[in-house]
A and B are shown apart, each in its own frame.
Chain A
Amino acid sequence: MPHLQFPALSVPLVLFWVFAVVACLMGLLVIVLANPVSSALALVMTLCAVAGLFLTLGAQFIAAVQVIVYAGAIMVLFLFVIMLLQLRGEPGGLRGVLFGPKVLAGALGVALITQMGSLVATAAWPAGAADPAAFDSPLNTQMIGKLLYSRYLLPFEVVSVLLLVALLGSVVLAKRKF
């Protein structure tokens, strides 16, 4: 039974556990903390820990994007929405968050865990086809670059149109006087 063997204790394995534990703990804090701004900062830590997980797989570019886009740009937007909506936190504090809408939250949680559990149990896991170790190379980012700017040239250029539309859209929405 090769899949029951415990892998030898290696640096990537230790780092995986460190980053995984930090990501889970901070993810828990996101939902437990009463102040929405604190939750957002805990989410920053979660996203950074996930970036660390990508790094242990050798995906340097994805790790960098995770920090630049998610922990940077997306969190700016989250914080802005929190401040625009003037969220002041749960009145009941920790107790209010944990023991508030018990029945609905419990039912939804059970449904989610059952679904994910059944998916994990029944899904076919393609092994070998996308072995992360095969891409664990310092040239990983270069490989992405070569593929993105040759074979996926059109999608890449379309992204600039998409960004342009987002740019115009946000100006039209947010600008009061033209």
Chain B
Amino acid sequence: MPVINAYMPALLMLALATGFALFTVVASRLIGPYRPTREKNMPYECGIEPVGSANDRFSVKFYLVAMLFIIFDIEAVFLYPWAVAFRELRLFGLIEMLVFVALLLVGYIYVWKKGALEWD
């Protein structure tokens, strides 16, 4: 039996969510009145006046956050097939994964000690 059949509830959910999102956007545009003014189109109707563009240059500090996210994301990806095959791999698999995680833990401690996680 194809694996995709097990995903039918998820795909149905996807179709329903997409349909609902499209329906609300289209229906509110068709049924509701549309009279935009300068004030209405501002990010905040009350409060301080917005200054400059939101599309501004970002600090390189975000690069570090993005990079750390990618690295630990990839580490997590390797845990998926390991967790599924864990029973067959037995103790060998556990030690193997401990070595893998320990090496990345060294990097994590380095990042921590260097203060790269601080927002200075």
Contacts and interface: CB of A to CB of B under 8 A. Distances in A.
B84 interface: yes
Interface string A130-168: 000000111011101110111001001101110110111
B60 A74 contact: no
B107 A73 contact: no
Chain B at the A interface: SS class: helix
Interface stretch (A24-32, A76-84, A101-109, A116-124): A76-84
Nearest to B103: A160
Contacts of A177: 120
Contacts of A84: 57-58, 60, 62-63
Interface of B: 2-7, 11, 55-58, 60-64, 66-71, 73-78, 80-86, 88-89, 93, 96-97, 99-101, 103-104, 106-108, 110-111, 114-116, 120
A174 B63 contact: yes
A160 B77 contact: no
B89 A149 contact: yes
Interface of A: 11-12, 15, 37, 55-56, 58, 60-61, 64-65, 68-69, 72-74, 76-77, 80, 83-84, 86, 88, 136-138, 140-142, 144-146, 148-150, 153, 156-157, 159-161, 163-164, 166-168, 170-171, 173-175, 177-178
B42 to A, nearest CB: 19
B56 to A, nearest CB: 7
B85 A142 contact: yes
Contact of A80 (B2, B58, B71, B77): B58
Contacts of B108: 167
Contacts of B82: 145, 148-149
Contacts of B116: 171, 174-175
Nearest to B57: A86
Contact of B100 (A68, A140, A156, A168): A156
